[in-house]
Amino acid sequence: METPHNLSLPQSTAIAEIKDAAVHIKNLNYSFGRGDLCKQVLYDINLTLPRGQIVIMTGPSGSGKTTLLTLIGALRSAQEGSLRVLNQEIVGLSNRQLVEVRRNIGFIFQAHNLFESLTAAQNVEMAVELTGEFATKRDQATAILTQVGLKDRVDYKPDALSGGQKQRVAIARALVNQPRLILADEPTAALDKKSGRDVVTLMQKLAKEQGKTILMVTHDNRILDVADRIINLVDGRLESDETLDTFVTTHDPKVLDRRMFIL
């Protein structure tokens, strides 16, 4: 396992890196249930996500990936340790305060969760309405849909869109309010190879051009090449944290098809 961020840096440099990080986690533990039914699912997680970086999180089903993602996304309350998101400590926040944190985060899930009765533009406009920008919502929705390659589909409803196009609408909805952090849970799981590649390439482009931080949970080995780092969570513990190059050289080529790392 590579040396985690901050541990080998001078104290002043480490503090500066933490302040500039989109996410900084220290000694985070999490359990479901209480008393005899209590089950711990995350153990002593330490992780830093710098701004503008794409980090892919892998691991077996049931290893705690989605739980960690929802904690970072302020969709559930952290219980123990420190969890700073966009320079705000969120451990101990009230539900109302967590809602405010979520306003700066874009969420993309395996299921696109589009409203079938609304057009692509109207689905995106709903996100804009949360900010109170009613007068400009159509213009903002059209602009971001154009950016994700759906200029000619803004007035189409989901049943007239392909799987890849629906996921692009979901990405547009996640990005329209200019979040600094994007959390994606299996965004390519329901897509074919080409559509999946198009979606993650788009996310990579936006991260680099706009300096957004993306944390993506996936089982799809075909898209690992877009990552700056790959972290592996096993049984609730952070087992490895590697750059892409290190990941390629340290994993069994019989398990990983190295062609997936060729753009």
Predicted local distance difference test score (pLDDT) of residue 8: 53
The DSSP secondary-structure symbol of 76 reads S
- The tokens for 215 are 């944390």
The DSSP secondary-structure symbol of 224 reads G
What are 242's strand-pairing partners?
230
Predicted local distance difference test score (pLDDT) of residue 262: 39
3-state secondary structure of 75: coil
Q: Is 22 exposed, middle or buried (0-12, 13-18, 19+ CB in 10 A)?
A: buried
pLDDT < 50 positions in the chain = 1, 3, 12-13, 257-263
Predicted local distance difference test score (pLDDT) of residue 245: 81
105: left (phi over 0), alpha (psi -120 to 50) or beta: beta
Task: Look at strands 80-85 and 21-32 and give their pairing.
Answer: antiparallel
Superfamily of domain 51-76+105-261: P-loop containing nucleotide triphosphate hydrolases (3.40.50.300)
Predicted local distance difference test score (pLDDT) of residue 79: 82
Asked if residue 231 lies in contact with residue 224, where contact means CB atoms within 8 angstroms, the answer is no
Alpha helices in the chain (DSSP H): 11-20, 65-72, 95-102, 120-129, 137-147, 163-175, 193-210, 244-250
What are 30's strand-pairing partners?
42
Predicted local distance difference test score (pLDDT) of residue 243: 85
Task: Look at strands 39-50 and 21-32 and give their pairing.
Answer: antiparallel
CA distance 244 to 31: 31
pTM of the model: 0.83
Task: Give, for 9, the enclosing helix (H) or strand (E).
Answer: none
Asked if residue 56 lies in contact with residue 216, where contact means CB atoms within 8 angstroms, the answer is yes
Asked if residue 175 lies in contact with residue 102, where contact means CB atoms within 8 angstroms, the answer is no
Percent of all residues in the chain with a pLDDT value above 70, rounded to a whole number: 88
- The tokens for 10 are 């001078």
CA distance 172 to 121: 9
Asked if residue 225 lies in contact with residue 261, where contact means CB atoms within 8 angstroms, the answer is yes
3-state secondary structure of 92: coil
Q: Which residue has the tokens 């398990």?
A: 255
Predicted local distance difference test score (pLDDT) of residue 208: 82
Predicted local distance difference test score (pLDDT) of residue 114: 93
Residue-wise pLDDT for 17-48, tens only, equals: 666 799 999 999 999 988 888 899 999 999 99
Predicted local distance difference test score (pLDDT) of residue 263: 37
Q: Which of 244, 208, 195, 231 is nearest to 72 (CA)?
A: 231
Predicted local distance difference test score (pLDDT) of residue 20: 77
